[in-house]
Amino acid sequence: MTAVANQKVKGKIPNETIKEFWRLYKKDKLAVFGLFMLVFFVLTAALADFAPYNPFRISDESFAPPSLKHFFGTDDLGRDLFSGVVYSVRTSLFIAVSATLLSTFIGVFVGAIAGYFSGSIGGFWTRVTEVAQTIPAFLLCILLVSIFKPSIWNVLLSIGVLNWTRMARVVRAEFLSLRERQFVESALSLGESRTRIIFSEILPNVLPVIIATFSMDVAYAVVFESGLSFLGLGDFNVMSLGILLYTAKQYLHVWWISFIPGLVLFLLALSFNLIGDQLSIIFSPKLRQR
Amino acid sequence: MDTAGTVGIKSVLEIQDLRVYYRTMKGLVRAVDGVNLKIKKGEVVGLVGESGCGKSTTAFAIMNLLPKEAEIFSGKIIFKGVNLLLTSERELAKIRGKKISMIFQDPSSYLNPVLKIGDQMAEVIADANGGKDALARNRIVDQLTLLRIPSPGVIVNRYPHELSIGMQQRVLIATALMPKPDLIIADEPTTALDVTVQCQVLQLINELVHEVGCSLLLITHDLGIVAEACDTVYVMYAGKIVESADVVTLYETPLHPYTIGLLESVLSIDEFRERVQTMPGSAPNLINPPSGCRFHPRCKFAMEICVQKEPPTIDVGHGHSVSCWLIKKRSDL
Amino acid sequence: MSFLLKAANLKKYYPVGRFFLKKLMLRAVDGVNLEINSGRIFALVGESGSGKTTLGKLLLRLIEPTSGSIFFDGTDITKLSSDKFKKVRRNMAMIFQNPFDSLNPRKTVFQIMRRPFELYKNKRTKFDIKAEVEKVLNMCGLSPAADFFDRYPHELSAGQRQRVVIARAVAVQPKFIVADEPTSQLDVSVQAQILNLLKELQEKLHVSMLFITHDLAIVRSIANDVSIMYLGKIVEVAEVTRLFMQPLHPYTQALLSATPIPNPRVARSRKRFLVVGEPPSPINPPKGCYFNDRCPYRMAKCMDVQPELNQIADNHSVACHLYK
């Protein structure tokens, strides 16, 4: 304990806490697997430009099965599937993470207000969340994207704007319980303004849960985006897993065209899910070590 | 040191050299490190100490209700001639709640919220009928009446949340007393109660214990309660018993520096203190306790031997024992 | 004698639903009149449900009263706008009960301590604030102060945490502090240290303190004046020595009798004044004196008329029909 105190790191996370966090995280082997998978995917996305072929490059080797020349085979237009998948991972990650950043921003904002304020203000925003939850987000997304031309930005925006309700719910719950805590009362008695209390006192305590929920939301966004593209609403100028699957719709009997993108999609979503799940467990009050 | 075969006839419970350690990720916590305790029939024994001294662990060890991280390293717990630590779980289950009852601090955690009071109390005297027959019912109502619970016939059909905390605690005490146990272990039974209710409950416990003739092990940090209710007192510090004596002797002529310091820190409605005496420092880390006498870093009489060796337990007469090198020096002279 | 703080007919009722047509109210604080002089420690004693914590929070305007006034330094603070009140609030502080919960677990001691200075002092430079924080921490027994700057609450013992809470309260030298059971969750030896600290600080800074507690033993040694609260009402107010010498209200006598004395000879020979039953519900208090259903001296009048707080002697008032 004294080692930590002597470290003089102002507000930053000391090494011991990181070690402790990793020790708790390691407990679930699947979660560790998920983490490695994610790291692998992120590297893939970063190094996508080193893919062997231009994914859009049409060749006359259509329907070629996986081989040393084409690791994942080719599709109906002879495009290399491996390069396609690699670029898709980058696109999917980009869209999913960006969209979730947007939805997190909205969700935290709404959740904080709904949770901190009692009475009409809090009540109003709680109702807003509840109503938004019941709206079939996917259908609305479809509607939005069809009205405005399908493009990577429209997909990103529509997911971001519609996927915030889980975050809002979670943040609201945290604020509801934290606002009763004595350190918040102390801050009030000191004369802190409400804004200050929300952002400076309560929010830092909600951060771990936000991070955990963020991960889960990204998993959801990944699948969401693929769904949209699968239905033909994605941006066909960009390669994404959903678009690959869209092509695969017509050629389900050609196993590598449908199975491989599907598997990658599954693993990508799964990795975020596993990580988010384990983070939720670590950050849940019952298991907080102290 | 007594061995199991030569336990005094009058002892209901005798703890010999009990050591309970907790395995934690930071190391081995020596929560109870060589505790000796004797409870005679009909005696009220107080086990006093501040938080973390190991008193609750001692209580739970008697009934083998320790969490899985805890391990009883050594020692004997002899209940009416039988070493409980060598008894099977099945036999222990027969003793728990029947021959040895426990009362805990927070009554609401120990009452099942979905069962009626009468049904829960019946579990202790359950027999073939499951305690639902008229005879059992009458016993329960009688017991509640004994504890001055108003309208016991009605209470029996109520749920725990319909009762105040004071009532809940009284129900638990009634439940503990019903099977006419030989020993009751009460771990901070009145800490959660208001002072007027605490007074009523303590008086009741006292009366009933004397009526039933059972022994009581009262675990608390409150020196006022101990003075009021106990016959004999054991003072615990950092996993060890530092002093034990009958209650009057302990309060009037304490010998161990910790006991003296503790008694000087306690305020009373009886007198005004301009400035309260305090002991420097705080309770030690039990993973790496101080060498020798565990109190030496805070003791103004500490000598060199206190740092080096653990003090022996010295009998200064009339049932008064102290574990201190200073006393040993004095008694040697 | 000029008083620093005066509460006049202060009430706080909470609506708790309906019983047919009647709206049910929980009367947490039911018409309290109080006067606290500057430089004195005023103890407020009561059991759970007496309303003492609610009263403490009302005086700081952490909760808004249902009716009544609170005069601080001559001004009625219940009528102030929140901007104007901010200036007054600088002179008030609160110390809470739970040392494990009063500090933000994600902030270091320094981050916690600098807020009062940032809010109320013009010294904005980090260097100045550091110096001030150091001074306060040292004053509260946390020295060397610099060692504590970067520690998180969970790295401190309960006693150290409570010292930080106290340091934060006295940081900008308020005139009035409400201490809500500041030692009830501490070990006996630590409690003694904290009580000494509070007494010391009170004398040094000439602060008025409202010391809320359920423990009369503490009151005897630390307070100058004491008031006893029962079910939202003040039943007796007196200077401390007077109260212990001559407790008038039956409830006060019951409290004193019920408080254990850490002296076995005295404890076993004392005459007990036992009171039966438990406090009635604050939603449906009895007609007349709230204590009447448990009072061994009950008269016919007690069941009908609520007694007012009457001054019996120079520094002793009681609300009881026995004393008129």
Q: What is the pLDDT of residues C10-27, one digit of tens each?
A: 999 998 877 777 788 889
Distance CA B288, CA C285 (A): 55
Structure tokens at B194: 């208001």
Angle at B94 between CA B93 and CA B95, to 5 degrees: 90
- Name which of C258, C242, C260, C211 is nearest C318 in CA terms: C242
Spell out which residues of chain C touch residue A290, defining contact as CB-CB under 8 Å. 154
Dihedrals φ, ψ of A191, to 5°?
A: 105, 15
Distance between C112 CA and the closest CA of chain A, angstroms: 9
pLDDT over 60 at B128, yes or no: no
Chain C: residue whose CA lies nearest to B50: C187
Distance CA C302, CA C321 (A): 7
pLDDT over 70 at B77, yes or no: yes
pLDDT at res. B131 = 54
C303–chain A Cβ distance below 8 A for any pair: no
Counted across chains B and C, CB pairs separated by less than 8 A come out at: 124
Burial class (CB in 10 A: 0-12, 13-18, 19+), B280: exposed
Which residue would you say has higher pLDDT here, C64 or A16? Answer: C64
Share of chain B above pLDDT 90, in %: 33
The average confidence (pLDDT) of chain B is 86
B108–chain C Cβ distance below 8 A for any pair: no
**B268 and C261 in contact by Cβ < 8 A?**
yes
B207–chain C Cβ distance below 8 A for any pair: no
pLDDT at res. A11 = 43
The average confidence (pLDDT) of chain C is 89
C192–chain B Cβ distance below 8 A for any pair: yes
Most trustworthy range by pLDDT among B68-82, C238-252, C294-308: C238-252
Residue linked to tokens 């699968």: A230
Dihedrals φ, ψ of B69, to 5°?
A: -75, -15
Share of chain A above pLDDT 90, in %: 33
C284–chain A Cβ distance below 8 A for any pair: no
What pTM, to 2 d.p., does this model score?
0.86
C68-97 average pLDDT score:
89
Q: How confident is the model at residue C2 (pLDDT cuts 50, 70, 90)?
A: low
* DSSP one-letter code for C154: G
Q: Over the Cα atoms of chain C, what is R_g? A: 21
pLDDT at res. B176 = 84
**C119 and A192 in contact by Cβ < 8 A?**
yes
**B50 and C189 in contact by Cβ < 8 A?**
yes
- Name which of A175, A185, A164 is nearest A121 in CA terms: A175
Spell out which residues of chain C touch residue B268, defining contact as CB-CB under 8 Å. 217, 220, 261-263
pLDDT over 90 at B330, yes or no: no
User: Domain boundaries in chain A?
Assistant: 29-48+77-288
**C150 and A8 in contact by Cβ < 8 A?**
yes
One-character DSSP codes across B248-263? HHHHHS--SHHHHHHH
Which chains have 3+ CB pairs within 8 A of B? C
Spell out which residues of chain C touch residue B198, defining contact as CB-CB under 8 Å. 258, 260
Share of chain B above pLDDT 70, in %: 95
pLDDT at res. B5 = 43
pLDDT over 90 at B87, yes or no: no
pLDDT over 70 at C284, yes or no: yes
C262–chain B Cβ distance below 8 A for any pair: yes
Mutation target for C interface from B155, B190, B196, B286: give the one with most C CBs within 10 A.
Answer: B196
**B272 and C221 in contact by Cβ < 8 A?**
yes
Say if the ipTM goes beyond 0.90: no
Name the H helices within C44-187.
52-59, 82-89, 109-120, 126-139, 158-170
pLDDT over 50 at C93, yes or no: yes
The average confidence (pLDDT) of chain A is 84
- Name which of C256, C271, C273 is nearest C47 in CA terms: C256
C118–chain A Cβ distance below 8 A for any pair: no
Residue B17: CA count within 13 A, CB half-sphere: 8
Q: How confident is the model at residue A4 (pLDDT cuts 50, 70, 90)?
A: very low
**C217 and B267 in contact by Cβ < 8 A?**
yes
Touching B: C residues 9-48, CB under 8 Å: 47-48
pLDDT over 50 at A2, yes or no: no
* Helix A165-178 with A203-230: angle, nearest 10 deg: 170
B283–chain C Cβ distance below 8 A for any pair: yes
Q: How confident is the model at residue A15 (pLDDT cuts 50, 70, 90)?
A: low
Structure tokens at A167: 């975050």
pLDDT at res. A6 = 37
Which chains have 3+ CB pairs within 8 A of A? C
Mutation target for C interface from B44, B267, B295: give the one with most C CBs within 10 A.
Answer: B267
Nearest Cβ partner for A183 among C89, C92, C104:
C104
**A204 and C107 in contact by Cβ < 8 A?**
yes
C247–chain B Cβ distance below 8 A for any pair: no
Spell out which residues of chain B touch residue C199, defining contact as CB-CB under 8 Å. 275
Which residue would you say has higher pLDDT here, B242 or C293? Answer: B242
Nearest Cβ partner for A190 among C106, C111, C116:
C116
Query: What pLDDT, in 10s, does the model give residues C174-214?
Result: 999 999 999 988 888 899 999 999 999 999 999 999 999 99
Query: What pLDDT, in 10s, does the model give residues A75-123?
Result: 888 888 888 888 889 989 999 999 999 999 999 999 999 999 988 899 9
pLDDT over 90 at A174, yes or no: yes
Q: How confident is the model at residue A62 (pLDDT cuts 50, 70, 90)?
A: confident
pLDDT at res. A10 = 39
Query: What pLDDT, in 10s, does the model give residues C26-67?
Result: 899 999 999 999 889 999 999 988 999 999 999 999 999 999
Distance CA B296, CA B189 (A): 32
pLDDT at res. B224 = 93
Which residue would you say has higher pLDDT here, B149 or B222? Answer: B222
CB B145 within 8 A of CB B72: no
Q: Which CATH class is domain A29-48+77-288?
A: mainly alpha
Most trustworthy range by pLDDT among A75-79, B206-210, C152-156: C152-156
Query: What pLDDT, in 10s, does the model give residues B246-304?
Result: 999 999 999 999 999 999 999 999 888 888 888 888 888 888 888 899 999 999 888 89
One-character DSSP codes across C20-75? TTEEEEEEEEEEEEEEEETT-EEEEE--TTSSHHHHHHHHTTSS--SEEEEEETTE
pLDDT at res. C230 = 94
A194-205 average pLDDT score:
91
Which residue would you say has higher pLDDT here, C305 or B133? Answer: C305
